[in-house]
Amino acid sequence: MRKRSSQYTVSQNSNIQKTANTVNLVGQIGCIIGVAAIIIIAIAFGIGWLIDDWLGNDRRYATMILMIGSFPVTLFVMVQISMNFLSRANKRLEKANKNNITEELDKDK
């Protein structure tokens, strides 16, 4: 029987590990951005619908305006989420690189 390690690694090759981590990060960002976009557009639609009902508009002008206005807001939120994830990933990468350098220096001793 093979002994399982506590942490699963894709490969011993560092390039493959970096690629797998990048794919994982992109997948997480995509899922969160998709959910955020749906929430923002749904809120804009709901508020627009309520305003049109309150004003008695049959043509739903407020709904159209808020739906069109939700796209720049969604784009802004997408960029902010992406930048937040990338800054976290860079911090983790810097920490991992620092730990690897320390381990290499300890091996040389």
Residue 35: pLDDT over 70: yes
Cβ(36)–Cβ(78) below 8 Å? yes
Whole-number Cα distances in Å, 60 to 43, 47, 50, 86, 95:
15, 11, 10, 39, 52
Residue 91: pLDDT over 80: yes
Residue 80 to residue 33: CA distance in whole angstroms = 10
Whole-number Cα distances in Å, 81 to 34, 45, 76, 78:
11, 22, 9, 5
Average pLDDT score, the chain: 85
Task: Catalogue the long-range contacts made by 28-35 (C-beta closer than 8 Å, 24 or more residues apart).
Answer: 28/85, 29/81, 29/82, 29/85, 32/81, 32/85, 33/77, 33/78, 33/81, 33/82
Residue 45: pLDDT over 90: yes
Tell me the domain boundaries of the chain. 21-108
Residue 44: pLDDT over 70: yes
Nearest to 75 by CA among 28, 32, 30, 33: 33
